[in-house]
Amino acid sequence: CRVEYLNYEVLDDRGWDLDDPDLMETAADGGLDREDYGQFWVRPRESLLEAAERHGFAWPFACRGGACANCAIIVLEGDVRTRVDHVLPQEMLDQGFQLSCNGMPVTDELQVVYNVKSMPELEDLLL
């Protein structure tokens, strides 16, 4: 699976909108560092967090076990299946939130915003 990713901190700093359908194009043209925007490949049975780490990126996490939401991402395009999730309520899943620590792609292409733990929605869920 090919993942296109964007750091939420950059989006927030630049005042970009998560709902903008051209968000990833804007990011691609934004002259961002590789750690903030880019693409990588996820291997079979690899989580998004593991794939990010294998590519040398330090995505946030704490428990790695589906209990804290520090690793939360928002899936803009494609689908992710998270095996263990004790923390995200259904309404957040409906909005596209998933956990990168054990979330695995189920589509060939994904667009995700990572590092969303500073979003107000996550505030009460972080351990």
Contact residues: ligand FES, CB under 6 A: 61-64, 66-71, 87, 99, 101
Structure token pair of residue 96? 């596209």
Residues 6+ away with beta carbon under 8 Å from 119: 8
- Quote the least distance from Cβ 61 to ligand FES, whole Å: 4
Query: Measured between alpha carbons, how far is 29 from 96 in angstroms, rounded to an integer?
Result: 24
The nearest distance, CB 64 to ligand FES, in angstroms, is 5
Nearer to ligand FES, 11 or 72 (CB): 72
Nearer to ligand FES, 32 or 63 (CB): 63
How remote is the C-alpha of 55 from its chain's centroid?
15
User: Smaller CB distance to ligand FES: residue 67 or 119?
Assistant: 67
Cβ atoms of residues 82 and 63 within 8 Å: no
